[in-house]
């Protein structure tokens, strides 16, 4: 079995190649898909390990699909700008060539393997149907002697190690993940240039032309300017000295993360995690380091401190540590447990994006209420254009369309309202997934499918008091939001943001700069 610095549990053998007749071992190719980074990438580390072990060179290949789950300029621009940086740094620092192919990966990657005589194909892991089907087809198309390894470089605990089955909820997967963390939440080795150099000519990619083409084709959903793509920018968001999440914003995470008027309380890491421009394991390691640097203060200790010392300075310091400590725990719960629970769902539930994927109780209750009278019924077009009678919902839809990322709390309300205002749960699910995938910079992700399934089909949730339309699915309403945060403030904030965007867009167009907000 594969040996090296990657834990064997992280690697699955998708295909065992036969011994080549001439005994010659060819290069290693890493087909990069979900983990688009150089740093902290177990799949790349494994590919280099294997190449060094066999004394062969290694290359990285990336395939830009003609169509990938409806990705538009917003998604493809972000992705390709990140890859352009990666290409440069990888060739400069690691001397590993980067090949970009256009078309269907099940054709381009096997063709490349044939061309360079590769013996081992390494891929990273995604639970999504399209990628899994593509890998199956690749295994059929690559030569007899080619071995295929899949490395879970996305999750801290590899999905198949965390659990062998579809988990019911966070409650059931949490202990399983926590048990494995000491083994898997470890430091990454430093990657050095491979021993054997690549002999084929390196590909020169005209990134600017390719980016211009995807921007043109996907112009319907333009790029966003607030989120700088690439590994370096991702690390800045995590650890930056100006406004880094762990360095500057962490302490308010547990108290303010459900307040849509305080988006800065959230990490803002989802675009980078989605495109694999940062490793969740790196985020968890850094968060844990913050936690270790602060003395542990439990609730009881806090009260004891307060009662005994009654010194304001001490109280203040203890409370700050307490907040930090709580924030790290909450962040790790979202980043590791919730995120891996989403991957678990998509990996073990083939119907991860349809009503069929809901538990029996939820399907039953939703079907029992499918024909309940709705106060409003909206079409997909009305919803897409934010033309509902609910200004709060409209604001959240506009935040997603123009800003490219809806606040996490609003995402729940948004999806639940779609259930309330459409002809049934299937249609609600279809519309919510369509809109989320189309406009969210972090869309087309297991977290998105699971977010919609949680809101509409109650997965990873429990049954609640039965009510019209929702049945036993958890309900959310405007009044509830009003109790939680300043609803009018949020509506006003989105309005100002959207009009500013429109103004800047018009200015850019006047200046002959079609690139959205890139002035
Ligand atoms: P933070 O709170 O800072 O979280 C850090 C990371 O933890 C996130 O980037 C994410 O990877 C993970 N995380 C946080 N909340 C969740 C959660 N509920 N489930 C799983 N992982 C979580 N997330 C996406 O990444 N892409 C999506 O397309 C997406 N669509 C959603 C749709 C709906 C209807 C709902 C209810 C949730 C959706 N989520 C999605 C989950 C969650 O809202 C986002 O991950 C979060 O808002 C991203 O912002 P952040 O990175 O600043 O969050």
Which numbered atom of ligand 1 lies nearest the CA of 267?
Answer: 3
For all residues of the chain together, what is the average pLDDT?
93
Q: Could you tell me which residue, 313 or 225, shows the higher pLDDT?
A: 225
The pLDDT > 70 percentage for the chain reads: 93
Residue ID of nearest Cα to ligand 1 atom 6 = 335
Is a pLDDT exceeding 50 seen at residue 517? no
* Domain identity same for 443 and 359: yes
- Supply the pLDDT for residue 303: 65
Q: Is the CB of 149 under 6 A from ligand 1?
A: no
- Cβ of 269 closer than 6 Å to ligand 1, yes or no, is yes
Does the Cβ of 254 fall within 6 Å of ligand 1?
Answer: no
Same domain flag for 423 and 282: no
Pocket test for ligand 1, best of 270, 277, 459 (most atoms within 8 A of CB): 270
The per-residue pLDDT for 388 is: 98
Per-residue pLDDT averaged across 268-282, rounded?
Answer: 98
Residue 168 sits in the same domain as residue 62? no
Query: Ligand 1: which of 408, 429, 446 to mutate, judged by most atoms within 8 Å of the beta carbon?
Result: 408
Are 278 and 189 within one domain? yes
Burial of 437 (0-12, 13-18, 19+ CB in 10 A): buried
- What CATH number did the domain enclosing 373 receive? 1.10.579.10
How many structural domains is the chain composed of? Answer: 3
Read off the pLDDT of each residue in 363-372 and give the average, rounded to a whole number.
96
| Per-residue pLDDT band at 515 (split at 50, 70, 90) | very low
Using 50, 70 and 90 to split pLDDT, how confident is the model at 519? Answer: very low
Domain-located, residue 20: yes
* Average confidence (pLDDT) over 73-93: 97
Q: What separation in Å is there between the alpha carbon of 408 and the centre of ligand 1?
A: 6
- Looking up residue 270, the CATH number of its domain turns out to be 1.25.40.80
Q: Residue 497: in which H helix or E strand, if any?
A: helix 487-510
Same domain, 295 and 387: no
Closest CA to 141 of 176, 179, 112, 101: 112
Q: How far is CA 188 from CA 162, 185, 247, 331, 428, in A?
A: 19, 9, 21, 21, 42
In a domain, 208, yes or no: no
Are 253 and 146 in the same domain?
A: no
SS3 at position 377: coil
- Return the residue whose CA atom lies nearest to atom 44 of ligand 1: 408
- Please tell me the predicted confidence (pLDDT) of residue 66: 84
pLDDT of residue 512 exceeding 60, the answer is no
Q: Is 207 inside any structural domain?
A: no
323, 374: one domain: no
Residues 140 and 170 in one domain: no
Is residue 443 assigned to a domain?
Answer: yes
Are 253 and 335 in a shared domain? yes
Q: What is the structure's pLDDT at 67? A: 84
| Residue 453: domain span | 355-491
pLDDT tens, residue by residue, 19-46: 887 888 999 999 999 999 999 999 999 9
- The answer, yes or no, to whether residue 297 has pLDDT greater than 60, is no
Same domain, residue pair 71 and 182: no
Query: Residue 322 pLDDT > 80, yes or no?
Result: no
Q: b/e per residue, 239-265, with b = 16+ CB within 10 A?
A: bbeeebbbeebbbebbebbbbbeebeb
- Give the per-residue pLDDT at 514: 41
* Inside any domain, residue 35: yes
Q: What is the pLDDT of residue 406?
A: 97
CATH number of domain containing 109: 3.40.50.620
Asked whether the predicted pLDDT for residue 411 surpasses 50, the reply is: yes
Over range 247-266, report the average pLDDT.
Answer: 94
* Residue range 475-496, pLDDT digits in tens: 999 999 999 999 999 999 999 9
Kindly indicate the confidence band of residue 400, based on its pLDDT and cuts at 50, 70 and 90. Answer: very high
Residues 333 and 412 in one domain: no
Same domain flag for 281 and 161: yes
| Cα dihedral sign, 71-76-226-330 | positive
Per-residue pLDDT tens over the stretch 199-239: 877 789 999 999 999 999 999 999 999 999 999 999 999 99
Please check whether residue 254 is in contact with residue 260, taking contact to mean a CB–CB distance below 8 angstroms: no
Residue 137 lies in a domain: yes
Is there a domain that residue 498 lies in? no
String of DSSP letters for 256-322: HTT-TT-GGGS---HHHHHTTSS-HHHHHHHHHHHHHHS----HHHHHHHHHHH--HHHHHHHHHHH
In a domain, 2, yes or no: no
Using the predicted structure, report yes or no on whether residue 306 has a pLDDT greater than 70: no
- Residue of 173, 286, 287, 334 to test ligand 1 pocket, by largest number of atoms within 8 Å of CB: 334
């Amino acid at each position: 079995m594969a040996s090296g610095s990657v834990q064997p549990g992280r690697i699955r053998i998708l295909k065992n190649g036969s011994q080549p007749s001439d005994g010659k071992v060819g290069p290693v190719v890493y087909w990069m898909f979900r983990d688009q980074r150089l740093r902290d990438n177990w799949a790349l580390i494994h590919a280099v390990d294997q190449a060094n072990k066999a004394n062969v060179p290694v290359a990285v290949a990336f395939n830009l699909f003609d169509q990938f789950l409806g990705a538009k300029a917003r998604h493809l621009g972000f992705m390709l700008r990140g890859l352009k940086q990666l290409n440069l740094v990888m060739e400069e620092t690691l001397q590993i060539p980067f090949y970009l192919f256009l078309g269907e990966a099940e054709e381009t990657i096997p063709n490349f393997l044939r061309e360079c005589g590769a013996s081992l194909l390494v891929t990273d892991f995604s639970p999504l149907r399209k990628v899994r089907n593509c890998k199956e087809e690749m295994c059929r198309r690559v030569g007899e002697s080619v071995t295929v390894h899949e490395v879970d470089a996305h999750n801290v605990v590899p999905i198949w190690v965390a659990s062998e089955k579809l988990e019911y909820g966070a409650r059931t997967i949490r202990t399983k993940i926590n048990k494995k963390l000491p083994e898997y939440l470890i430091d990454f080795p430093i990657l050095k240039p491979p021993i054997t150099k690549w002999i084929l000519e390196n590909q020169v990619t005209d990134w600017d032309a390719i980016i211009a083409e995807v921007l043109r084709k996907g112009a319907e959903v333009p790029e966003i300017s607030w989120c700088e793509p690439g590994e370096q920018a991702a690390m800045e968001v995590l650890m930056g000295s100006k406004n880094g999440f762990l360095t500057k914003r962490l302490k308010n995470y547990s108290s303010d993360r459900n307040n849509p008027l305080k988006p800065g309380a959230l990490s803002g890491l989802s675009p980078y995690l989605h495109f694999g421009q940062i490793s969740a394991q790196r985020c968890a390691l850094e968060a844990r380091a913050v936690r270790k640097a602060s003395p542990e203060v439990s609730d009881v200790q806090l009260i004891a401190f307060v009662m005994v010392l009654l010194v304001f300075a001490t109280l203040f310091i203890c409370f700050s540590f307490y907040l930090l400590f709580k924030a790290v725990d909450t962040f790790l719960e979202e980043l590791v447990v919730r995120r891996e629970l989403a991957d678990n769902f998509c990996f073990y539930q083939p119907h991860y994006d349809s009503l069929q994927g809901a538990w029996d109780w939820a399907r039953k209750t939703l079907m029992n209420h499918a024909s309940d009278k709705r106060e409003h019924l909206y079409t997909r077009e009305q919803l897409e254009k934010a033309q509902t009678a609910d200004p709060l919902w409209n604001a959240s839809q506009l935040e997603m369309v123009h800003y490219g990322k809806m606040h996490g709390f609003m995402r729940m309300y948004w999806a639940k309202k779609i259930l309330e205002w459409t002809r049934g749960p299937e249609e609600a699910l279809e519309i919510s997934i369509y809109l989320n995938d189309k406009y969210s910079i972090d869309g087309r992700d297991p977290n998105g499918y699971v977010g919609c399934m949680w809101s509409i089909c109650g997965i990873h949730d429990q049954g609640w008091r039965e009510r019209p339309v929702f049945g036993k699915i958890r309900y959310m309403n405007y009044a509830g939001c009003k109790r939680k945060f300043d609803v009018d403030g949020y509506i006003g904030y989105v309005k100002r943001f959207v009009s500013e965007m429109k103004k800047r867009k018009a200015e850019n167009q006047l200046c002959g700069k079609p690139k959205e907000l890139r002035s």
